[in-house]
Amino acid sequence: MSDITIHGAGIFGLSIAWACLERGARVRVIDPYGPGAGASGGIVGALAPHVPENWNEKKAFQLESLLMAEAFWAGVEAVGGLSAGYARTGRLQPLADAAALELARARGRGAGALWLGLAEWHVAEADMFDWAPASPTGFVIHDTLTARVHPKQACAALVAAIRERGGEVLREGVQRGQVIHATGTAGLEALNRDAARQIGMGIKGQAALLDFAAPEWPQLFAGGVHIVPHADGTVAVGSTSERDYASGTETDAQLDDVIAAACTAVPALADAPVIARWAGLRPRTRSRAPMLGAHPLHEGQFIANGGFKIGFGMAPKVAEVMADLVLEGRDSIPEGFRPEASL
């Protein structure tokens, strides 16, 4: 039985811990701030695919992860007894003009081949849906691959499942066995200090939670904003993408603009009370891809970082390939995800 220590109780650290436990390892997760204290404790939770064109290893990896997600979260919920708020409800996006309409149809043909017939990307009339964003053409993109989780609830569900399986999630403790660093923005900053150039950084995001019940409806992407109905009778809207900020955890007028954009896209949200405001730093590597593999600073140890905006969507597959590497010595990490791609 292998001993695994994971530093960082965000979505990558907790998901890898779960995958290792499922293979019989003894696992300890250590995070002085507690589970989901950073970007993974957010409120949006949009598990959305990349555009189905110009196919590459990152898009293929994400597709496989999104297709794994339903079974992954069902397993977590069955063991731990808490809901992650997962549902594959799809997504709608408005189409502004005839050129956008034609491009969307072309991408739909691409999805037919690239998504292996396991999900669809197609153009539909907006009035076919109970709610849809305002669309100048009267048409929307409808994809059936997009899903959602509630990030904070998903982290809590993973913690419950890990503990039920005998794993530990601690604020402090002695590391033992194989060591994985999944420490988000702080981990990227440590790499920056050791390197001659910037390896990664925290990008601030702000989001809001509205009191509006639409749990079965698809999420929307309109006006540059994600609008995500959650199972608990709320709708999340977000987020900003800020390189410059005075505080990484305080909300400001930029979030008001996000809320206004959501209400313009979906007028039904205009009277919905704002019940929570959130801000946090999302770890983005220089390559914009996750950083997985041998740790550049700690010989014989491993890194899993750089989830940025797609961490929850990538998590099931990230957990699988990291468990393969650490427990079995099988390296199936895409070349573009290796640390040297960002160094």
Tens digit of pLDDT at every position of the chain (343 positions): 789 999 999 999 999 999 999 999 999 999 999 999 999 999 999 999 999 999 999 999 999 999 999 999 999 999 999 999 999 999 999 999 999 999 999 999 999 999 999 999 999 999 999 899 999 999 999 999 999 999 999 999 999 999 999 999 999 999 999 999 999 999 999 999 999 889 999 999 999 999 999 999 999 999 999 999 999 999 999 999 999 999 999 999 999 999 999 999 999 999 999 999 999 999 999 999 999 999 999 999 999 999 999 999 999 999 999 999 999 999 999 999 999 998 8
Report pLDDT for 5.
Answer: 98
In a domain, 206, yes or no: no
Task: Kindly state the tokens that stand for 140.
Answer: 């929307």
Q: CA-CA distance, 250 to 36, in Å (whole number)? A: 17
Query: Nearest to residue 322, comparing CAs of 313, 335, 332, 314?
Result: 332
Query: What would the DSSP string read from start to end of 35-76?
Result: TT-SGGG-S--EE-PPPSSS--HHHHHHHHHHHHHHHHHHHH
In a domain, 192, yes or no: yes
Report pLDDT for 197.
Answer: 85
In a domain, 326, yes or no: yes
Structural domain count, the chain: 1
Task: Kindly state the tokens that stand for 193.
Answer: 């200090």
- Domain holding 168, by residue range, is 3-104+147-197+286-341
Report pLDDT for 323.
Answer: 98
In a domain, 275, yes or no: no
Report pLDDT for 317.
Answer: 98
Instruction: For residue 58, give the CATH number of its domain.
Output: 3.50.50.60
Report pLDDT for 83.
Answer: 98
In a domain, 278, yes or no: no
Q: What are phi and psi of 226, to 5 degrees?
A: -85, 135
